[in-house]
């Protein structure tokens, strides 16, 4: 009986805590993530980095080119889905059954949930939590807020987090001044930030940049339905 009560109270506590935290992060900026902490504490041989650069900027200080490039590179249907791109998931599932290389189908919402709330190691348990937190942020956050958090916590190189830090390091300018070509090149880093360097692009990165630019042209412009309140982004 006691064990049953403990289980019930634990489940209730989990839901209250996670929902409360999600609501808090809808207006308070998460300055650190488990990935940042893990990479900071890990040795360089284990993928860690002594470098740590992270500067938060509000979404109105991020170039629309970067927002468009992120959608073009990572999640074409970002504005239209509710956290999951079921068509992409189906295609990835069919591909992974046949192919040797694993293909993912995570949306920007899923990546944001993973980056903010979860540990970096892959497992089915973590994937389950990722689904749960994706549902929460899609319910409690606006699409604009999801994009704002995503671009501020995403890794753009070893120890380089957020588009502002990446822009300053790679292009010596604020994120608000990024051109289409620079934004597209930064977006090529997102799938493999520890292996790609916009300052020294590989042939593959140049080809990928052109693909992103083509997709940006097709997408046109990213317009969020609801704007963030000016006083809703306290640090």
We report the CATH number of the domain holding residue 65 as 1.10.3810.10
Of 31, 19, 30, nearest in space to 140 by CA: 19
* 12 within some domain: no
Q: Alpha carbon 187 to chain centroid distance?
A: 11
d(CA 92, CA 88): 6
d(CA 226, CA 207): 34
Dihedral sign for Cα 14, 19, 24, 30, please: positive
* 115 within some domain: yes
Low-confidence ranges of the chain (pLDDT < 70): 43-48, 92-104, 226-235
| Domain count of the fold of the chain | 1
Q: How many CB atoms lie within 10 A of CB 204?
A: 10
193-229: pLDDT as tens digits: 989 999 999 999 999 999 999 999 999 888 887 545 4
Q: Tell me the residue range of the domain where 185 lies.
A: 33-219
Instruction: Sheet with 53-54: list strands edge to edge.
Output: 53-54, 160-161, 155-157
* 173 within some domain: yes
- Res 231: pLDDT: 44
* 225 within some domain: no
Three-state DSSP at 122 gives coil
* 179 within some domain: yes
- Res 232: pLDDT: 46
What separation, in Å, do the N-terminal and C-terminal C-alpha atoms of the chain show? 44
Three-state DSSP at 161 gives strand
- Res 186: pLDDT: 97
* 148 within some domain: yes
- Res 103: pLDDT: 54
- Pairing state of beta strands 53-54 and 160-161? parallel
């Amino acid at each position: 009986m006691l064990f049953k009560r403990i289980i019930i109270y634990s489940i209730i506590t989990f839901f209250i805590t996670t929902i409360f935290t999600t609501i808090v992060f809808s207006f308070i900026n998460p300055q650190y993530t488990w990935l940042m902490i893990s990479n900071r504490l890990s040795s360089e041989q284990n993928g860690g980095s002594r470098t740590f650069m992270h500067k938060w900027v509000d979404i109105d200080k991020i170039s629309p080119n970067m927002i468009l490039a992120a959608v073009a590179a990572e999640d074409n249907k970002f504005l239209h889905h509710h956290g999951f791109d079921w068509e992409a998931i189906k295609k990835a599932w069919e591909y992974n059954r046949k192919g040797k290389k694993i293909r993912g189908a995570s949306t920007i919402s899923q990546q944001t949930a993973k980056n903010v709330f979860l540990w970096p190691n892959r497992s089915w348990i973590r994937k389950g939590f990722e689904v749960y937190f994706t549902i929460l942020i899609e319910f409690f956050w606006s699409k604009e807020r999801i994009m704002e958090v995503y671009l501020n916590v995403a890794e753009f190189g070893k120890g380089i987090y957020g588009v502002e830090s990446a822009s300053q390091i790679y292009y010596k300018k604020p994120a608000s001044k990024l051109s289409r070509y620079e934004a597209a090149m930064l977006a090529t880093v997102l799938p493999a930030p520890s292996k790609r360097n916009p300052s020294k692009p590989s042939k593959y990165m140049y080809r990928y940049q052109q693909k992103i630019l083509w997709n940006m042209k097709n997408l046109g412009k990213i317009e969020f339905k609801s704007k963030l309140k000016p006083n809703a982004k306290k640090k």
